[in-house]
Amino acid sequence: MDLQTLETWIRLNPLISGLIVLGCFLLILLVVILYRRRKLKRQISSTMTMGLEKTHDQLKIRLGELIRLNRDIDEGVYGHLEEVLLGADVGVKTTQKLLRYLREEVTSTGRKDIHLLKGYLRNEILKILNAHPTESLIPKKTHVLMIVGVNGVGKTTTIGKLASLYRNNDETVLLAAADTFRAGAVDQLKVWSTRVGAHTLAQKDGADPAAVAYDAVKAGVARDFNRVIIDTAGRLHTKINLMEELKKVRRVIDKALPGAPHEIILVVDATQGQNALHQAREFHQALGLTGIILTKLDGTAKGGIVVGILDEIGVPIRYVGLGERLEDLKPFFATEFVDALLN
């Protein structure tokens, strides 16, 4: 068909040609959406896989040794597996639970082939992780997050990364420098703030942290910010009790905006192993955490701590830190985590 005939045909059949154009447009749109979704999924997976490389490699070696023995799953295998899980810092209690689940599954299926071990383990870990799902939160108009944790775990860095995620979502973000104890903490937060296009509210070093938090929340509401993120100190003068101070900050935030903070998130350093678990327990008892962020998973072969913390504390893990770059904070998805660990 030459161009002229096509023109005549289109003129005579406007409805059909319109529908064909619309169909082509929808098809292209669908292809673009699917491509972008795949790309996003791949990006998330690869950072997760890279960040968990040390734990993954360690598990691969240890489980590989076990599988090469080519025997049935028996008491000896359970014993070896216990060592492997404890070595990955899953923790005593959760390791016992995993072994119990495993025994139950092997008995109920009657299938003891050692080559099924990884698949079984995947199921049991997912059972534990899915017992405390991370529900997606609907943010409040001015959503206030209070970030807590002992010194050096990565609070301020994580706040910078979180702010970046929100900014990428076109949200306005105010960072409150309520760590007034450590010299340089305010400047560190300001650097992050500038880098990601957020705003900062700070007073001078040594100011009352609760007063900074109060002012920030009031300013956040008055200026219609979508997010207010409060950075806090991880250590105070020995005379002052950290938990009491943080409770005071929380009370004062509630006075500035009733119902806030909407999230109290604990940051823990995964390289600290069982110590991270103790911290999570202590902070949860004192403050009632709504979420946990585990940082520095890239720096440890003991990423099993994620499973132990979620199982023992029962507070959802919101994000994991997988490196020092801005894009190295990833939302936590159980299946993706287990796949990065075992595949």
Ligand X SMILES: Nc1nc2c(ncn2[C@@H]2O[C@H](COP(=O)(O)OP(=O)(O)OP(=O)(O)O)[C@@H](O)[C@H]2O)c(=O)[nH]1
Q: Which residues of this chain interact with ligand X, rule CB under 6 A?
A: 149, 151-157, 179, 182, 185, 234, 295-296, 298-299, 321-324, 328
Q: Are 164 and 249 in contact (CB under 8 A)?
A: no
Q: Residue 35 Cβ, how far from ligand X at the closest point, in Å?
A: 29
Three-state DSSP at 219 gives helix
Q: Residue 220 Cβ, how far from ligand X at the closest point, in Å?
A: 21
Footprint of Mg ion on 130-169 (CB under 5 A): 155-156
Residue 81 or 293 having the CB closest to ligand X = 293
Long-range contacts (CB closer than 8 Å, 24 or more residues apart) made by 256-261: 256/213, 256/214, 256/217, 256/218, 256/221, 257/142, 257/144, 257/217, 257/218, 257/220, 257/221, 259/140, 260/140, 260/142, 260/144, 260/217, 261/144, 261/145, 261/146, 261/230
Q: Which does 308 bind (CB under 5 to 8 A by kind): Mg ion, ligand X, none?
A: none
Enter the DSSP assignment of 21. H
Q: Which does 321 bind (CB under 5 to 8 A by kind): ligand X, Mg ion, none?
A: ligand X
Q: Which does 151 bind (CB under 5 to 8 A by kind): ligand X, Mg ion, none?
A: ligand X
Cis preceding linkage at 261, omega within 30: yes
Residue 120 or 192 having the CB closest to ligand X = 192
Q: Which does 153 bind (CB under 5 to 8 A by kind): Mg ion, ligand X, none?
A: ligand X
Q: Which does 290 bind (CB under 5 to 8 A by kind): Mg ion, ligand X, none?
A: none
Residue 73 or 289 having the CB closest to ligand X = 289
What is the rounded CA–CA span in Å between residue 201 and residue 309?
Answer: 33
Q: State both tokens at 62.
A: 């240890």
Residue 144 or 267 having the CB closest to ligand X = 267
Residue 47 or 142 having the CB closest to ligand X = 47
Residue 150: what are its φ and ψ, rounded to 5°? -70, 170
Question: Which residues are near Mg ion by CB under 5 A?
Answer: 155-156
